[in-house]
Amino acid sequence: MAKYSFETTTIGELLDDPKAAEFLFELVPEAKDHPMLEIGRPFTLEQALPFIETIADSMGITNVAERVEDFKVKLAELD
């Protein structure tokens, strides 16, 4: 079983794991300095997705769905 899941892992758990945080910022470099990142810590990735999509839209990021799918696959591979 994978250590992390899009449905159950919180953003805080990812940020607290150096390997997972590095992976997150590699796939979504725009998130690293975003002020909402710390506010999102208690949310699972699935719960935060509507907010992420809105923020991405406001930043002009157009490939959100593709990034999310890539992220889900890679997240399941982390140990």
pLDDT digit string (tens) for 42-72? 999 899 989 888 888 888 888 888 888 888 8
Q: What confidence tier does 74 reach under pLDDT thresholds 50, 70, 90?
A: confident
Structure tokens at 30: 């725009």
Q: How far apart are CA 33 and CA 30, in angstroms?
A: 7
Structure tokens at 2: 């994978």
Q: What is the pLDDT of residues 18-46, one digit of tens each?
A: 988 988 888 788 888 888 889 999 999 89
User: For residue 5, is pLDDT > 80?
Assistant: yes
User: For residue 1, is pLDDT > 80?
Assistant: no
pTM for the model stands at 0.81
Q: How far apart are CA 67 and CA 29, in angstroms?
A: 11
The neighbouring-strand residues paired with 10 are 44
Q: How far apart are CA 53 and CA 41, in angstroms?
A: 16
Q: What is the mean pLDDT of the chain?
A: 87
